[in-house]
């Protein structure tokens, strides 16, 4: 899978590199994209997409049917301000969203309901300078990349499954 930011879609490719299909169209409604940045696959093979400019997190079946959309610009629970990346952890069945301009990580359950969130703006412990990328390893350890405006790009391990 590839996020095609300019085409405002997600393209799905075969293992040999043949384009199989595109998911979504340009727009601000459910199932549409304005700025798809991050994409992940959950434990059931569903696609999870962080749409930066729609402030959406959307979940699709592998063949592109919309299952759920969580969308609202803001700083509250299940609200996002330019979410740039998303990852799924099989170790705890959680979805992690780099909520970039809210300077935090939102943790969602696999059904996209809220689980928790952590972080705030800054450069100290438990703080982020605009998290831009997020990934987990096989043990559930979370790594966050930031747009560190005050320095160069920084990557930190900030959270491990079972610690919250």
> Structural domain boundaries of the chain?
35-159
Distance CA 22, CA 123 (A): 39
- 21 neighbors 28 (Cβ within 8 angstroms): no
What digits encode the pLDDT tens for the residues 69-106? 998 899 999 999 999 999 999 999 999 999 999 999 99
- 64 neighbors 21 (Cβ within 8 angstroms): yes
Section 21-37 average pLDDT: 87
Cα torsion angle, 143, 144, 145, 148, sign: negative
User: What local confidence, expressed as pLDDT, does residue 149 receive?
Assistant: 62
Distance CA 78, CA 61 (A): 21
Beta strands in the chain (DSSP E): 2-4, 9-13, 19-23, 25-26, 32-33, 36-41, 47-51, 56-60, 66-71, 83-89, 94-99, 104-109, 114-118, 120-121, 127-128, 131-136, 142-146, 154-159
Give the range among 51-55, 61-65, 85-89, 149-153 with minimum mean pLDDT: 149-153
Architecture of the domain defined by 35-159: 6 Propeller (2.120)
What digits encode the pLDDT tens for the residues 108-127? 999 999 999 998 998 778 88
Q: Is residue 164 over pLDDT 50?
A: no
């Amino acid at each position: 899978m590839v996020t095609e930011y300019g085409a405002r879609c997600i393209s799905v490719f075969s293992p040999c590199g043949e384009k199989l299909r595109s998911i979504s169209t340009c727009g601000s409604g459910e199932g549409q994209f304005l700025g798809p940045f991050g994409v992940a696959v959950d434990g059931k093979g569903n696609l999870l997409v962080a749409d930066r400019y729609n402030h959406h997190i959307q979940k699709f079946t592998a063949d592109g049917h919309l299952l759920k959309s969580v969308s609202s610009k803001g700083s509250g629970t299940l609200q996002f301000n330019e979410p740039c990346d998303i990852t799924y952890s099989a170790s705890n069945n959680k979805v992690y969203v780099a909520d970039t301009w809210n300077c935090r990580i939102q943790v969602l359950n696999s059904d996209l309901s809220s689980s928790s969130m952590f972080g705030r703006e800054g450069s100290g412990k438990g703080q982020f300078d605009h998290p831009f990328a997020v990934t987990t390893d096989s043990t559930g350890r979370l790594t966050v990349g930031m747009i560190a405006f005050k320095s160069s790009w920084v990557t930190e391990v900030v959270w491990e499954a079972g610690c919250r």
